[in-house]
């Protein structure tokens, strides 16, 4: 049975809001406000939410590019929010990231060979020939031609640049890759290619993925378990099958209704259902938050299925 590679416990990332003549802290933006989940070796875990939900901030905190306000991120049981532990665990080698914007994540002044080789140079001591062979191998894995090493990022399409980003992320043989909206800037046909490459790499190297997206339709084909995020908190967590078949939270239903349907015969029916869910969301959304406007804690509603319910809907609640 696969072991847990990452455990996120009550993670919080708050940004201070300053105002007044003395520029004092008067409030905080709770980008991530008490998030907990775990990812097993070789698993793809989906983190879904609309823009501003806190999903990308969660991913960046795990990678280490966002400062954690409180909570724990355990890697193989060690709390890597402590810098000394990060260095001891070689965490920066084992956890990599694929970014949403492939163009801005690749240095436009460097050739592809140097872009992919950069993380290898940071963590391994290879000869020039060994390094080039490794880069060629990585490019081959993601379906890129061998002469790509001599070119610059602007000479490739968006899908090709994303594949180069995947090759760079895999260069250090990581145990976990945080993929932040890796296909959102691509058209549908290219999306499918990139997702297939990610699946192939996962199977070949047994890499765990935290797949961050706003699109439940894309995540369905990638993730075994899902977490829906809203206002910095998780509103529904469970297996992929359970959440798609039996969504409980109105926010989850709203995201599911936004998935495009190609069935022409039922298009009008689907549009009507989407309008109905939108009205329900607008009318009842106040009931899903506590007095401070925060999402309620998660409650077990079935096997491997939790939802953030109002207090009166919790069994045994008043």
Q: Which strand (E) or helix (H) includes residue 14?
A: strand 4-19
CB 241 within 8 A of CB 223: no
- β-strand 70-75 against 78-79: which pairing, if any? antiparallel
Report which DSSP code applies to 214: S
Residue 314 has a pLDDT of 52
Q: How many residues are there in the chain?
A: 318
Question: Domains in the chain, ordered, with CATH?
Answer: 4-313 (3.40.50.300)
Backbone angles phi, psi at 154, to 5 degrees: -70, -10
Residue 227 CA, chain-centre distance (Å), reads 10
* Residue 124, C-beta contacts closer than 8 angstroms, at least 6 positions apart: 172
* Partner residues linked to 39 by β-bridges: 6
Q: Which strand (E) or helix (H) includes residue 211?
A: strand 208-213
Q: What angle do helix axes 158-170 and 128-141 make, rounded to 10 degrees?
A: 130
Residue 312 has a pLDDT of 62
Measure the CA–CA gap between 57 and 180, rounded to whole angstroms: 10
Residue 276 has a pLDDT of 87
Is the full-model pTM beyond 0.95? no
* Partner residues linked to 179 by β-bridges: 98, 211
Measure the CA–CA gap between 102 and 93, rounded to whole angstroms: 20
CB 256 within 8 A of CB 216: yes
Q: What is the DSSP string of 70-139?
A: EEEEEETTEETTSHHHHHHHTHHHHEEEE-S-TTTTS-TTS-HHHHHHHHHHHH----HHHHHHHHHHHH
Q: Within 13 Å of residue 297, how many CA atoms lie on the same side as its CB?
A: 6
* Cα angle value 204/206/209 (rounded, 5°): 115
Q: What is the pLDDT along the chain (318 residues), one digit of tens a residue?
A: 678 999 999 999 999 999 888 889 988 999 999 999 999 999 999 999 999 999 999 999 999 999 999 999 999 999 999 888 888 888 999 999 998 887 888 999 999 999 999 999 998 888 999 999 999 999 998 889 989 999 999 999 988 999 999 999 999 999 999 999 988 877 777 888 888 888 888 988 899 999 999 888 888 888 989 999 999 999 999 999 999 999 988 889 989 888 877 666 777 787 888 888 888 887 777 777 887 888 889 999 888 899 998 756 655 444
């Amino acid at each position: 049975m696969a072991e847990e590679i990452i455990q996120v416990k009550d993670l919080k990332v708050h940004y201070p809001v300053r105002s007044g003549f003395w520029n004092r802290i008067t409030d905080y933006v709770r980008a991530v406000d008490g998030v907990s989940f775990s990812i097993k070796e070789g698993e793809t875990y989906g983190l879904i939410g609309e823009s501003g939900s806190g999903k990308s901030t969660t991913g960046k905190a795990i990678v280490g590019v966002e400062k954690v306000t409180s909570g724990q991120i355990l890697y193989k049981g060690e709390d890597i929010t402590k810098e000394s532990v990060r260095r001891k665990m070689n965490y920066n080698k084992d956890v990599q990231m694929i970014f949403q914007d492939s163009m801005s994540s690749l240095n436009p002044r460097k050739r592809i060979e140097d872009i992919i080789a950069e993380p290898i140079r940071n963590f391994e001591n290879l000869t020039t020939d060994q390094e080039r062979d490794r880069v060629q191998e990585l490019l081959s894995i993601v379906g890129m031609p061998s002469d790509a090493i001599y070119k610059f990022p602007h000479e490739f399409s968006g899908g090709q640049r994303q594949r180069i980003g995947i090759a760079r992320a895999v260069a250090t043989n990581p145990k976990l890759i945080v993929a932040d909206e890796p296909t959102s800037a691509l058209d549908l046909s290219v999306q499918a290619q990139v997702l297939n490459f990610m699946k192939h790499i996962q199977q070949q190297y047994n890499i765990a993925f935290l797949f961050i997206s706003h699109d439940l339709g894309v995540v369905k084909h990638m993730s075994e378990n899902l977490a829906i995020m809203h206002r910095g908190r998780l509103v529904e967590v469970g297996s992929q099958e359970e959440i798609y078949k039996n969504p409980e939270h109105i926010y989850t239903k709203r995201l599911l209704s936004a998935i495009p349907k190609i069935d022409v015969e039922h298009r009008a029916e689907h549009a009507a259902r989407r309008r109905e869910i939108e009205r329900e969301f607008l009318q009842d959304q106040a009931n899903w938050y506590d007095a401070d406007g925060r999402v309620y804690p998660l409650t077990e509603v079935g096997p491997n299925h939790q939802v953030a319910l109002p207090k009166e809907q919790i069994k045994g609640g008043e």
